[in-house]
């Protein structure tokens, strides 16, 4: 028996990408796979906003891969990178404007044993902390591209869970875009829950670095 099946509505996603990225923190990502529920609380996200954003895949305009980003909000954008990794995004904003939120980290909830089996490790802190780790843990691949996350019949969806107050959200530059020109490389469009232990090593490192340099900042705007 399922405790709940209340996917966030399309209106949640059809807003400013940064707002969606912040408000997804504390929400629960659910995955129905092989008859089992796998889930976790979203603790880290990044916003990729339009063709102007030179870190966004849509920077090159509409292509076969990025077409989904130009479509309606609330759909999944799952892509393959580095020859081996899958990344899960939720499409945002109005139809015709290409933007998405990358889900970068989860605090594991249901289905821990299945996740451990899929990841080949035991440590719960390494199961879903990182965009490629969480897709491996939840078995999300190319087949899951273009799913309607707002449809109760989809096997991936997101539910409201606990609201993370603005004061507990940290914003930093996005990860893995060091060759992207400014201002995009440094704009603080990565968000995570301050102090949450379910973060990857690179996250903690980044927090330490940014804290000592004073670059870390509270989410604003």
Partner DNA sequence: GGATCGATCGGCT
Partner DNA sequence: GCCGATCGATCCG
Where on the chain is the footprint of DNA (CB under 7 A)?
A: 46, 48, 55-58, 60-61, 63-66, 77, 79-85, 87, 89, 100, 102, 119, 121, 126, 130-133, 174-177, 179-180, 200, 202, 205, 208
**C-beta of residue 153 within 8 angstroms of C-beta of residue 147:** no
Nearer to DNA, 1 or 64 (CB): 64
CB of 56 to DNA, least distance (A): 5
CB of 68 to DNA, least distance (A): 10
CB of 170 to DNA, least distance (A): 17
Nearer to DNA, 15 or 65 (CB): 65
Nearer to DNA, 81 or 162 (CB): 81
The DSSP output letter for 131 is: H
CB of 24 to DNA, least distance (A): 13
Measure Cα distances from 52 to 49, 55, 97, 129, 190 in Å.
7, 9, 11, 29, 17
Give the H/E segment covering residue 78.
strand 76-81
The C-alpha atoms of residue 209 and residue 173 are separated, in whole angstroms, by 12
Say how far residue 215 (Cα) sits from the centre of its chain. 22
Nearer to DNA, 35 or 96 (CB): 96
Task: Reply yes or no: is the peptide bond before residue 158 cis, omega within 30 of 0.
Answer: no
């Amino acid at each position: 028996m399922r405790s709940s099946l209340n996917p966030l509505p399309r209106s949640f996603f059809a807003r400013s990408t940064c707002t969606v990225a912040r408000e997804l923190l504390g929400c629960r990502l659910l995955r129905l796979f092989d008859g089992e529920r796998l889930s976790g609380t979203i603790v880290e996200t990044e916003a990729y906003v339009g063709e102007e954003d030179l870190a966004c895949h849509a920077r090159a305009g509409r292509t076969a891969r990025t077409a989904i980003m130009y479509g309606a909000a609330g759909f999944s954008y799952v892509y393959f990178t580095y020859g081996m990794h899958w990344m899960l995004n939720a499409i945002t904003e109005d139809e015709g404007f290409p933007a998405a939120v990358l889900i970068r980290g989860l605090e594991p909830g249901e289905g821990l044993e299945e996740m451990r089996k899929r990841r080949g490790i035991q440590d719960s802190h390494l199961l879903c902390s990182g965009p490629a780790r969480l897709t491996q843990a939840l078995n999300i691949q190319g087949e899951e591209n273009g799913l309607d996350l707002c449809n109760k019949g989809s096997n991936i969806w997101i539910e409201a869970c606990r609201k993370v107050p603005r004061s507990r959200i940290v914003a930093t530059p996005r990860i893995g875009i060091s060759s992207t020109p400014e201002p995009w490389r440094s704009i603080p469009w990565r968000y995570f829950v301050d102090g949450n232990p379910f973060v990857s090593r690179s996250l903690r490192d980044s927090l330490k670095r940014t804290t000592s340099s004073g670059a870390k900042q509270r989410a604003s705007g």
